[in-house]
């Protein structure tokens, strides 16, 4: 019979030798500094077992837009997902007022 303990599969014999982890301030500070490199202000941290790395859940794109629109100089270029085709492209936030600036993006595989 195997149980999941200490993050790995262990038999009862090995489970007896597993000591509880003592948290110290130094270990907590070290863990926080290691995790800080994976966080961004808009998302959440998650470990992907499939990719075997930490990934950020949530949005990584800026809320204010990528850059000023070169065509109308009023709007911001933003990443937009088409509701019809579900594909992503770069478009101007001033589209409703007549700006037609847009550019295709490579789609996720």
pLDDT in tens, 69-109: 888 888 888 888 888 988 888 888 888 888 888 888 887 65
Rounded-to-integer distance, Cα 95 and Cα 45, Å:
34
Q: With 0.75 as the threshold, say if the pTM is over it.
A: no
Taking phi over 0 as left and psi of -120 to 50 as alpha, with beta for the rest, 35 belongs to alpha
Rounded-to-integer distance, Cα 80 and Cα 102, Å:
10
Going edge to edge, which strands form the sheet with 76-81?
67-68, 76-81, 88-92, 102-104
Residues 21-55: tens digit of each pLDDT:
777 888 888 877 776 666 655 556 666 677 776 66
- CA distance between the termini of the chain: 41
């Amino acid at each position: 019979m195997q149980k999941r303990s200490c993050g790995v599969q262990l038999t009862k014999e090995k489970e007896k030798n597993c000591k509880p982890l003592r948290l110290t301030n130094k270990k907590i500070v070290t863990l926080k500094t290691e995790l800080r490199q994976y966080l961004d202000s808009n998302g959440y941290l998650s470990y992907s077992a499939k990719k075997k790395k930490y990934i950020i859940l949530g949005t990584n794109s800026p809320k204010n837009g990528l850059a000023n629109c070169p065509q109308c100089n009023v709007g911001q270029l933003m990443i937009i997902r088409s509701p019809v085709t579900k594909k992503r492209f770069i478009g101007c936030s001033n589209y409703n007022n007549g700006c037609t600036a847009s550019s295709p993006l490579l789609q996720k595989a």
